[in-house]
A = this chain, B = another copy of it.
Amino acid sequence: MTPAPRVKVQTEDFDLQKEIDDLTGANSNIGAVVSFCGLCRDEQGTLDALELEHYPGMAEAEMTRLAEEAIKRWSLDGVSIIHRHGKITPGDNIVLVLTASVHRQAAFEAASFLMDFMKSKAPFWKRELLKDGQIGSWVDAREADDDALERWQ
């Protein structure tokens, strides 16, 4: 049975244990759950917050497409992706990827795949709000993130 991806774009934080419980639910054949939490870093104390802009509609659609691609490639019993938008302060969660499977390898690989693609394909943009009250610059895309996609070709 192919699981339906669970995808959410929201301003509020999430509780990881609750998200896992929701994902695994009544399925007692899951042996492995991998989670990735992406957190806001404080950039050596200069950062007051990140402001995350997104493309409503496409964000959810793209996250669903990525999750469906992972479900096609690996034997998975569940995928959840949550991405927050709005103002996010250092130490807070930005993104969550959850994968559930019978065995661990599929769960690890699918979570890593999803994060690589979330970084480069999900329509979100980060802008820095600095401690000194200035609106800082838009965060540049990392070349390493584009390179990361190549290993999944």
Would you call A33 an interface residue if the criterion is a C-beta within 8 Å of the partner chain's C-beta atoms? yes
Picked from B29, B35, B104, the residue with its CB within 8 Å of the CB of A16 is B35
Q: How far is the CA of A145 from the CA of B45 in the complex (A)?
A: 43
Cβ of A20: which chain B residues have Cβ within 8 Å of it? 16, 37
Cβ of A37: which chain B residues have Cβ within 8 Å of it? 20, 32-35
Most buried by B among A33, A37, A90, A107: A37
Q: With A104-B115, A115-B104 given, is the CB distance from A32 to B38 under 8 Å? A: yes
A22 to chain B, nearest CB (A): 13
Q: With A17-B16, A20-B16 given, is the CB distance from A41 to B31 under 8 Å? A: yes
Q: With A34-B34, A115-B104 given, is the CB distance from A39 to B24 under 8 Å? A: yes
Interface string of A20-53 (1 = CB under 8 A from B): 1000100011111111111111101100000000
Interface size on A, residues (CB 8 A): 34
Task: Say yes or no: A90 contacts B39, CB within 8 Å.
Answer: no
Would you call A124 an interface residue if the criterion is a C-beta within 8 Å of the partner chain's C-beta atoms? no
Would you call A140 an interface residue if the criterion is a C-beta within 8 Å of the partner chain's C-beta atoms? no
Q: Scan residues 84-139 of chain A and give those whose CB is less than 8 A from a CB of chain B.
A: 90-91, 102, 104-105, 107-108, 111-112, 115
Extra 9 A-B pairs, beta carbons < 8 Å, given A32-B37, A32-B39, A35-B35: A24-B39, A24-B91, A32-B38, A33-B36, A33-B39, A34-B34, A34-B111, A35-B37, A36-B107
User: A residues touching B (Cβ–Cβ < 8 Å)?
Assistant: 15-18, 20, 24, 28-42, 44-45, 90-91, 102, 104-105, 107-108, 111-112, 115, 148
